[in-house]
């Protein structure tokens, strides 16, 4: 298979993973009314999805070294597709949450293995260029996902977003079956003892754990807001579904735009200055959510502005912190990636379960529920600085 087609196929395989939350959350208000359920159960369904992702991301990396990239990715993608169709066919929130768990369990495979296959198949320079293109493509798709989700919900109902995800997952799986080559040249014999020792080595490293958990807190804050946003905007701010889609697309678009420019901004200003600036924006956005919740509790404009400030800081800080965590154990990069993504999803799942109970149908309750994540992030940054991690 020609490499230009392989890069396109790998980009497609990440699309269902990147869109499964942003595309579907616009249907939450209608879904809650149709099924006659509490809104927190919908938030918890995303937490179950993340919990499945946590388990999957942890096992697919090591399994791919023994079974090969192709077989492992196809297995995970098949599981994700089953979960996607389960979301379409289920009739109760509990079966739906189980289907979301299965979907997340499979989604860990493309999330972990796509970049491993790229590293196997392309030179370092080609890999950097390809990842830049994929990030641009995926972030633009994510920015447009809320608007598309709102349109589908308005025209065809809340299940239409899950139909689209199921059809997309199934179509990409068929393409992978026929066209995905094996990129691993030499398969390794799996050793549980070696895996356990390497795994414990990472877990026992304070530097690695702080560097891995700190950026995960940023992601968790972001997803906590995204998952709650349709309930907040439509029920508390009384905006139309279309207006909610515009607001959410705006701050997602800000995140996408800054993500595309983050490497150039970092090169121009330097890592230290960029991180200081991004941390300032993250705390400004977090605190302004609280202030808005106190003085302007029904302002969608100020809420979106606060999240836009946060999104800029998130987009600038995350690549610096994530690359630092990978550089600490270069010989364990595959396992490091799996563990980082697993920890990110475990923290997100736990936080979403807590958020679903802390959210009391007001912006202020959401802001206070998210604020500890920002404070923990700043604590992690202080610890990283104290330990003199040069990349920070």
Domain annotation for the chain: domains and CATH numbers = 10-177 (1.20.1250.20), 205-392 (1.20.1250.20)
Question: Quick check: 27 and 161 in contact, CB under 8 A?
Answer: yes
Phi-psi region of 122 (alpha: psi -120 to 50; beta: other; left: phi over 0): beta
Output the pLDDT for position 1. 55
In the chain, alpha helices (H):
3-19, 28-35, 39-67, 69-89, 93-121, 124-156, 159-179, 192-203, 206-231, 241-269, 271-295, 300-327, 333-358, 363-386
- Cα separations in angstroms, 53 against 49, 182, 347, 349: 6, 23, 11, 9
What is the mean predicted confidence (pLDDT) over 297-302? 94
Nearest to 79 by CA among 113, 109, 47: 109
What is the mean predicted confidence (pLDDT) over 114-130? 72
pLDDT: is 285 or 203 the higher one? Answer: 285
Q: At what angle do helices 39-67 and 69-89 cross, to 10 degrees?
A: 160
Give the contacts of 343 (CB within 8 A, at least 6 positions apart): 54, 212, 213, 216
Distance CA 161, CA 150 (A): 9
Q: Which two tokens mark 334?
A: 């595959």
Give the contacts of 35 (CB within 8 A, at least 6 positions apart): 92, 93
Confidence grade of residue 131 (pLDDT, cut at 50, 70, 90): low
pLDDT (tens digit per residue) in 155-174: 999 999 999 999 999 999 99
State percent of the chain over pLDDT 90: 35
Q: Which two tokens mark 175?
A: 């393409």
Output the pLDDT for position 334. 65
Q: Kindly report the number of other CB atoms within 10 A of residue 58's CB atom.
A: 21
Question: Quick check: 139 and 84 in contact, CB under 8 A?
Answer: no
What's CA 76's distance to the chain center, in Å?
A: 17
Output the pLDDT for position 333. 65
For 57, half-sphere exposure in the C-beta direction (CA atoms, 13 angstrom radius) is 25
pLDDT (tens digit per residue) in 196-217: 888 888 888 888 888 888 888 9
What is the mean predicted confidence (pLDDT) over 12-29? 88
| pLDDT at 134 > cutoff 80 | no
Distance CA 224, CA 344 (A): 13
SS3 of 360, please? coil
Confidence grade of residue 99 (pLDDT, cut at 50, 70, 90): very high
Question: Quick check: 39 and 91 in contact, CB under 8 A?
Answer: no
pLDDT (tens digit per residue) in 215-252: 889 989 998 998 899 889 988 999 988 898 889 888 88
What is the mean predicted confidence (pLDDT) over 262-291? 90
């Amino acid at each position: 298979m020609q490499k230009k087609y392989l890069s396109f196929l790998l980009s497609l395989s990440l699309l269902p993973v990147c869109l499964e939350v942003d595309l579907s959350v616009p249907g939450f208000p209608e879904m809650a009314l149709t099924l006659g359920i509490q809104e927190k159960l919908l938030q918890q369904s995303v937490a179950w999805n993340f919990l499945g992702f946590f388990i999957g991301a942890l096992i697919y990396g090591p399994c791919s070294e023994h079974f090969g990239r192709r077989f492992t990715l196809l297995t995970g993608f098949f599981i994700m597709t089953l979960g996607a169709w389960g979301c379409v066919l289920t009739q109760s929130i509990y079966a739906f949450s189980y289907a979301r768990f299965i979907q997340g369990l499979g989604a860990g495979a493309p999330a972990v293995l796509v970049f491993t296959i790229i590293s196997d198949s392309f030179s370092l320079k080609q890999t950097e260029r390809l990842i830049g293109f994929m990030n641009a493509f995926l972030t633009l798709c994510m920015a447009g996902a809320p608007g598309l989700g709102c349109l589908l919900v308005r025209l065809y109902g809340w299940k239409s977003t899950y139909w689209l995800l199921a059809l997309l997952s199934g179509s990409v799986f068929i393409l992978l079956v026929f066209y995905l080559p094996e990129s691993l040249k030499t398969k390794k014999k799996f050793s549980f003892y070696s895996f356990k020792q390497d795994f414990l080595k990472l877990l026992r490293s304070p530097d690695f754990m702080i560097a891995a958990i700190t950026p995960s807190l940023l992601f968790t804050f972001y997803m906590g807001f995204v998952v709650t946003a349709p309930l907040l905007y439509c029920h508390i701010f009384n905006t139309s579904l279309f207006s909610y889609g515009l607001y959410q697309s705006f701050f997602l678009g800000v995140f996408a735009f800054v993500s595309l420019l983050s490497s150039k901004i970092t090169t121009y200003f330097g890592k230290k200055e960029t991180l200081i600036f991004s941390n300032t924006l993250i705390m400004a956005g977090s605190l302004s959510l609280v202030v808005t919740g106190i003085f302007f509790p029904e302002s969608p404009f100020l809420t979106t502005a606060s999240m836009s400030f946060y999104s800029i800081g998130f987009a600038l800080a995350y690549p610096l912190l994530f690359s630092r965590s990978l550089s600490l154990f270069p010989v364990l990069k595959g396992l490091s990636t799996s563990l980082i993504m697993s920890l990110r999803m475990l923290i997100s799942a736990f936080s979403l379960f807590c958020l679903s109970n802390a959210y009391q149908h007001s912006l202020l309750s959401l802001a206070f529920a998210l604020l500890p994540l920002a404070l923990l992030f700043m604590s992690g940054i202080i610890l990283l600085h104290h330990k003199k991690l040069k990349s920070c």
